[in-house]
A and B are shown apart, each in its own frame.
Chain A
Amino acid sequence: MSAETPSKLQKMINAGHLAVTSEVGPPRSADGVVIEHKAKLIKDYVDAINVTDNQTSVCRLCSLAACIRIKQMGLEPVLQMVTRDRNRIAIQSDILGAASFGINNILCLTGDHQHFGDHSSCANVFDLDSIQLALTVRMMRDEGKLLGGHEFEIRPQMYIGAAANPFAGPNVGLRVSRLAKKVAAGVQFVQTQCIYNMDTFKTFMKMMVDRGLHEKVAILAGITPMKNVGMAKYMQKRVPGIDVPEDIVKRMGGVPKEKQAEEGLNLAVEQIEELKGVEGIRGFHIMAIEWEEKVPEIVERVGLYPRPQPAA
């Protein structure tokens, strides 16, 4: 977590507060007002707002434009960037562009394969992967240099983030190793995959702590409230890399349909409360998919509202 940047998210984490981040998914149209609307719903309850980058390979309004809009609202965006759709020229160009608008957080991702999305016949790029993207951002920031060797004066001041998925297998050890590799590449904060299997996640965190990695990277636990039992089953069966234990599906299905949303929120609140006590957790990343309006309620119920203001 070495390099200091102007990132408010970094300041919040470094001040020892439990950070709260959330995300906004851009629309599949040119309607930028949607971004503003979603950002307004959550702005007082989070420290930073991720903007997804064509998530699940579905073409949407671009993350960079949406981040600029959020920045111009006086808020703190996290630019999500996948390497699927851009080569190193485009990636570095977008990073310079983002930095020119004072965007100070980036989440380095490889991205879902285009097979999942609405343009499955497209060519992919994958010139870099997420770890090489982190290496690139670090070089641009700390050395003022592009991958091609060009040196420049005004550097992007990016707090470098990445994702981590403790549940993807084949074993937790490999997932700790891979995160160690991300840390070695310059990653300073991590937002995890949505956590439903608490046992696996705790094993992962213990291994992180045993290696002292939790002191090198700030881990924000990923939380996604379930809207209903259908969503629980869908995530269990269909979404790659998500581990939804059967007892959670049973719990969601065990209450009447009209109470399931409430049960999903209760579950999210309980998860956060439990995770607060796990060593190495530095905050929460609440991914309320098309349910942004519930973020304030969750944050209030877990006692993380009002948000502290970091010293400038």
Chain B
Amino acid sequence: MIKAIPKPMEEIIGNVQDCRKLLIAACDGCVTVCEAGGLKEAQVLAAALRLYFTQGGKQAQVDETSLTRQCEKEYLAQLSDRIDQYDAVVSLACGCGVQYLAEMYDKKIVYPGVDTCFLGVNEERGLYTERCQACGRCILAETGGICPIARCSKRMLNGPCGGSEGGKCEVNKDIPCGWELIYERLKTLGQLQRFETPTVPKDWTTSRDGGPRKIVREDLRI
């Protein structure tokens, strides 16, 4: 799922300090799972902003709400009858949700309330790690189910590099060397022969290098 972290309070205040009616819009999708932008976080942020306005002697109304998903029009439409009353919306959705909300209500100022970080997993509560960079052409079948693009700091397709040491990445000792993980997994699977065959340069057109991406599923669009 998409992983995000709450933006610093000061940054949010910097954006909304002149607002008099503000809506905090949570999303029940990914950001709820990683506890960055769900209804609970929206309530906490709204309370903190109310306190900020009160302490500063400013009259301001801060409401919160939650949408099932901000990346779908039918859920965004739930705001249509009340969004006009607000000066601005702080969306706690991922970057997709923030943009889609702004796209649907294009006269409304929409501020991001979280920093969208990566596609990852929940290792433990409060510990999320990256697994996929959505390159658009999955190679996990060749690499023992471990992605070198997401898990090698140099996205090498023929690793590990010479800076890997003790199974750790040269960038940070807290990062496991993705290629050592791949090597060990291939060994476990009896597929080490894959390791000595050079992988040719990747076609990155399906990644961000090809420009903004689009999926058209004709089978679903009948």
Query: Number of A residues whose C-beta is below 8 Å from B?
Result: 35
The interface-forming segment of A9-17, A58-66, A180-188, A296-304 is A180-188
Interface size bracket, B side: 20 to 34
Listed stretches A96-104, A123-131, A251-259; interface member: A123-131
A306 close to chain B: CB less than 8 A:
no
A127 x B204 contact (CB < 8 A): yes
The answer to the question of B60 belonging to the interface, with a C-beta cut-off of 8 Å to chain A, is no
B168 to chain A, nearest CB (A): 9
Tell whether, in the assembled complex, residue A241 and residue B201 are in contact, meaning their CB atoms are under 8 Å apart: no
Report if B12 contacts A (CB, 8 A): no
- Are A178 and B201 also in contact (CB < 8 A) when A169-B166, A170-B167 are? no
Q: Is the CB of A136 within 8 A of B160?
A: no
B153 near A113 with CB under 8 A, answer: yes
Q: Check: A112 CB closer than 8 A to any chain B CB.
A: yes
Nearest CB in chain A to that of B157: its residue: A129
Q: Is the C-beta of A74 less than 8 angstroms from some C-beta in chain B? A: no
Residue A132 CB within 8 A of the other chain? yes
Contact between B163 and A126, CB atoms less than 8 A apart: no
Bound CA span A113–B154, Å: 7
Least CB distance from B167 to A in Å reads: 5
Nearest CB in chain A to that of B159: its residue: A129
Are B160 and A124 within 8 A (Cβ)? no
- Is A147 a contact of B201 with CB atoms below 8 Å? yes
Interface check A177, CB cutoff 8 A: yes
Say yes or no for A214: interface residue by CB 8 A criterion: no
* Inter-subunit contact B197/A115 (CB<8 Å): no
Residues from chain A with Cβ under 8 Å of B196 in the complex? 177, 180-181, 184
Q: Are A129 and B158 also in contact (CB < 8 A) when A88-B201, A136-B201 are?
A: yes
Question: How long is the Cα–Cα vector from A127 to B209 in the complex, in angstroms?
Answer: 10
A211–B196 Cα distance when bound, in Å, is 13
Q: A163 on the interface (CB 8 Å rule)?
A: yes
Does A110 belong to the interface (CB within 8 Å)?
A: yes
Smallest CB separation, A245 vs chain B (Å) = 15
Query: Which listed residue (A130, A163, A170) contacts B158, Cβ 8 A?
Result: A130
A224 within 8 A of B: no
Q: Which B residues contact A (CB, under 8 angstroms)? A: 153-167, 170-172, 180, 183-184, 192, 195-201, 204
Sort A-B residue pairs by CB-CB distance and give the 9 closest, nearest first. A165-B162, A131-B158, A240-B170, A240-B163, A129-B156, A185-B198, A241-B162, A132-B201, A115-B171
A interface residue numbers (CB < 8 A to B): 84, 88, 110-113, 115-116, 124, 126-132, 135-136, 147, 163-165, 168-170, 174, 177-178, 180-181, 184-185, 193, 240-241
